[in-house]
Structure 1
Amino acid sequence: MSATAVEIANYTWRHAGRAKPAIDNLNLEIAAGERVLICGNSGSGKSTLVAAIAGVLGGDEEGDESGRLLLADASGRKEPAGTSTPVGLVLQDPDSQVIAARVGDDVAFGCENQGLERTEIWSRVREALPLVGLNLPLDHPTAFLSGGQKQRLALAGVIAMRPGIIILDEPTANLDPEGARDVVQAVTNVVNHTGATLLVVEHNYDVWLPLLERGLEFSAGKLVDDAPAKDIVNRRRIGNLPEAAPKLANNAAALTAHEVIAAEQPAHLPARSLHLPEHASTVLTGANGTGKTTLLMTLAGLRPLASGRIDLADSIRDGLRGNVAKWKSRQLAQRIGYVFQNPEHQFVARTVLEELQVGPKVMGLEVSTRRYDELLERLSLAHLAQANPFTLSGGEKRRLSVATALIAAPKLLLFDEPTFGQDPHTFGELVAIVRGLVDEGVTVASVTHDENYRNALGDNHVELLATGGK
């Protein structure tokens, strides 16, 4: 019988200020070397559980904890999580994991904290980077990495440390399909070689099924199913996908970009030209590192132009002239809504409801209580109106960031990875909301790696290539 790597008994965690626990009286054992899929709807407690196992939930001021959560060290001795047993954790947010200014130093950081010899550290760094498909010079600036590349960088740092337990929280959410396969293969190589225990929180099930054996499904903080991973996945597959996107008519352009290059754009990225059809949904795809986020932020006026031109339809400008990057924040937000790849980058308030109210207050808009309530209800956030935005699950944070963009009713909406962290139900709700906005005359453009999203909302599809053009 295999030794136990994780032992959890009557464990409960409740975030500060919340009435209901995120993890509710959990009893669970995970054997050493097991490969486990952790799944469940958005907000079911998955990320809280893996944060608890990794020992990074925070102190008493962050929440209330009871029960027992023990991890076995290399000798088999069990210690509380967060004490002596090394755990490698890759989080949902790529930006929060970048530590150093250069790629090599970032991967080396964890090994340095383990007190390894310098020659061993750099041997591991050079081994880990190709494993995750990050074939860059060791002195490459981390500031120039895309979200997907940062995710690979974080994984390389974990691989280099060779911990006994590896935890991956939505590790492929920001990766293109080829990148996702590369990461799964890298993780497979590592766990096959080291025998590490592997816990993976994912909504992108299929790519992981060849590797993962056991499945744990959570709902409202409780473990509701413990079965072979393939059986749980088959029960959770998206049953009724949204209808395919309609064939696009010859719509006029809401936005046209002419040979656009953003200020401080990485040198390898080419100039881009494209148009966004009015009253339609455009989906932008492309491999990691092709500049999708850079382009989207430039179109939104959030990054200045180095060269090129962006033309907006009169219906979007609504009387304004000049360079969109020079518009005042109030003017911009009323015309162009933007949802960042990392939701936390736009959170500034203490509660979910207050976060929704920030934009209208800044813009001097009158928004009814009913409008706030309806939007929270439609995005499955009504029960979290008084919660701290930073304590939400990844999927809940994404839906809140979408809500903050919708509240001002702009005519152009730009989304960066809008379905990140969504379960099948909330995915369908989000797609329905976006389609409804398009039907009401809003122009939408989204950067995504989600094939289901592209199929449902790709009225117009633009693929960015590394060499330029479509």
Structure 2
Amino acid sequence: MSEARPPLIEARGWGWRHSTRKAWAVRGLDLRIEPGERVLLLGASGAGKSTLLAGLAGLLDPEESGGDEEGVLLLDGVQARGARQEAVQEGQALTGLLLQDPQAQTVLARCGDDVAFGLENHAVPDIWPRVRKAMEGVGFPYGLEHPTGRLSGGERQRLALAGVLALGPGLLLLDEPTAMLDPEGADLVRSTIATVLELTGAGCILVEHRVQPWLPLIDRVVVLEPGGGVYADGPPGQVFAEQASSLVAAGVWVPGRRPEWGTRVRTGEGVAATPLLTAEKLAARRPGQAEPGVRDVDLTVRSGRALAVTGPNGAGKSTLALALAGLTAPAAGDLTASEELAKGLGPHPHAWKAGQLVSRIGTVFQDPQHQFVAPTVAGELAVGPERVAAQGRSWWQRKPGVRASSIGSEEILQRLRLDHLARANPYTLSGGEQRRLSVATVLATAPGVLVLDEPTFGQDARTWTELTALLLELLGEGRAVVAATHDLDLVTALAEHGEVVAL
């Protein structure tokens, strides 16, 4: 299987509306991208970037999904989904799409088989040399037989990228390829992609919110207007110089502009930093893991204080977060809750019932879809409070001497820019919108401790700022925030009001 040639991309009045949604994800898009061009696709969270990539990959079909399409989206003059089908029949991969959610791109139980999946679908001979080369190229740390179920989010992201690169596509469609990677891993992935583009001449459309490290690879910047067409288009230097102020106002991360998060924060107003959770020689493992993913952890989670958990991919950040949230029992050592947090329950959070846990410790998983249970955004936001109501007052409402939370459900939706999506199905939201909804559902239950796994994934500059400000306000109300994250800006913000634990 030789590498496919890069296609010419043309969008003429193209639009797509997801099934059950009133608003169009993309509409009136007129765009031409020459073969081999390297385009950075920008826009606010929910502007339709991931939708456009899915369309170019040939994955949007009104007959199959029930969505609505208008205009045309062409690859070398052929409708995108038709071009994809023709390429598969010819044993070629015209496009290679890396999804925003790597979990959704993992299909088989063993890592080598997962990378080989696309090659097998294209009936490619001599598969395994390609598989090994692709895995080595992205710095994947395990062998072919390693179970995919034991991968961290960042490791899963590398594996998914290896599967895309193994196909040798003529057009790389990359949706936040380094968002879950540690800095060293992100550098390696960027270097690998740069090498692939240089050697193959493939085209590339890249979606990333943090753009600075990618600029050396990029020829052109295209900014989408939410629900509309192209807002800005041109060479990176020109776009960022001429449109900087308007891009910042629209939520785009502009190189050289750091986020500000402290304008409404009211922390340290007489809230005592009392222990809520204490880990002593704690070892933790994920369900199904034979050996602990993290060992010998000593830390204290305190009211009104933040704890940022950092470390390379595979270090055990998510595993530790699950244990601190009371969702897995310690593999060794101990995790105990103070009487102030337990309020009449036993000292071990993993032994608490779900309704008791949600009113004391709220959790945001790395994959937000794992916690959605309602058919609408508004319904999802009501699930937690209903569980709390069934248990009586929440831990927070029973806590003496500290004011109740000033943030109600409607304000949460407004500040996280989800109010216009109240009637939408959570599974139709963009990745960034799903992440904000998962955070909103936890905030709505007003727990004493919030445990968040990559809470700022997929956020534009504006929503990042609002989300961070919300977390810091909660610290000012006396709640504790634990965040497992690679986001160095978030670590900096939280460290001002707590500490950092590096695994």
Residue number in structure 2 paired with 1:48? 51
Residue number in structure 1 paired with 2:445? 408
2:170 counterpart of 1:160? no
Amino acid at match of 1:290: A
CA contact (8 A) 2:309 2:482 kept: yes
2:408 counterpart of 1:378? no
Once the two structures are overlaid, the 10-residue window that deviates more, 48-57 or 415-424, is 48-57
TM-score, normalised via structure 2 length: 0.86
Q: Matches of 1:240 and 1:88 in 2, distance apart?
A: 33
What is the deviation of 1:422? 0.7
Distance 1:457 1:268, change over 3 A: closer
CA contact (8 A) 2:6 2:203 kept: no
Amino acid at match of 2:85: T
Of 126, 132, 136, which aligns to 2:142?
136
Residue number in structure 2 paired with 1:95? 103
What is the deviation of 1:266? 4.2
Distance 1:447 1:233, change over 3 A: farther
What is the deviation of 1:373? 1.9
Distance 1:353 1:243, change over 3 A: closer
CA contact (8 A) 1:260 1:309 kept: yes
Once the two structures are overlaid, the 10-residue window that deviates more, 250-259 or 393-402, is 250-259
Deviation per CA, 1:163-192, whole angstroms, max 9, x where unpaired? Answer: 111111111111111111111111111111
Residue number in structure 2 paired with 1:347? 372
Amino acid at match of 1:112: E
CA contact (8 A) 2:278 2:335 kept: yes
Residue number in structure 1 paired with 2:401? none
Residue number in structure 2 paired with 1:39? 42
What is the deviation of 1:414? 0.7
| Matched residue SS, 1:209 | helix
| Matched residue SS, 1:386 | coil
What is the deviation of 1:4? 5.3
Q: Matches of 1:301 and 1:99 in 2, distance apart?
A: 29
CA contact (8 A) 1:340 1:415 kept: yes
Distance 1:210 1:295, change over 3 A: same
Once the two structures are overlaid, the 10-residue window that deviates more, 223-232 or 402-411, is 223-232
Q: Matches of 1:285 and 1:226 in 2, distance apart?
A: 36
CA contact (8 A) 2:362 2:451 kept: yes
Q: Percent sequence identity over matched residues?
A: 44
CA contact (8 A) 1:172 1:204 kept: no
Amino acid at match of 2:441: T
Number of equivalent positions = 456
Distance 1:361 1:277, change over 3 A: closer
Q: Matches of 2:66 and 2:259 in 1, distance apart?
A: 39
Q: Matches of 1:402 and 1:233 in 2, distance apart?
A: 31
**Residue ranges of structure 1 left out of the alignment (5+ in a row):** 466-470
CA contact (8 A) 1:166 1:196 kept: yes
| Matched residue SS, 2:423 | coil
CA contact (8 A) 2:362 2:447 kept: yes
The correspondence of residues 247-258 of structure 1 with structure 2, limited to 5 A, is 251-258=273-280
Q: Matches of 1:112 and 1:128 in 2, distance apart?
A: 15
| Matched residue SS, 1:68 | strand
Deviation per CA, 1:289-330, whole angstroms, max 9, x where unpaired? Answer: 000000000111111222110122222212211421121100
| Matched residue SS, 1:26 | strand
What is the deviation of 1:62? 3.4
| Matched residue SS, 1:136 | coil
Distance 1:252 1:359, change over 3 A: closer
2:109 counterpart of 1:109? no
Q: Matches of 1:99 and 1:3 in 2, distance apart?
A: 27
Distance 1:274 1:232, change over 3 A: farther
Q: Matches of 1:190 and 1:270 in 2, distance apart?
A: 38
Of 9, 16, 20, which aligns to 1:17?
20
Deviation per CA, 1:327-363, whole angstroms, max 9, x where unpaired? Answer: 1100000000001111111111111001111222233
Amino acid at match of 1:115: A
The correspondence of residues 283-298 of structure 1 with structure 2, limited to 5 A, is 283-298=308-323
Residue number in structure 2 paired with 1:260? 282
What is the deviation of 1:135? 2.9
What is the deviation of 1:278? 2.4
Residue number in structure 2 paired with 1:66? 70
Distance 1:45 1:125, change over 3 A: same
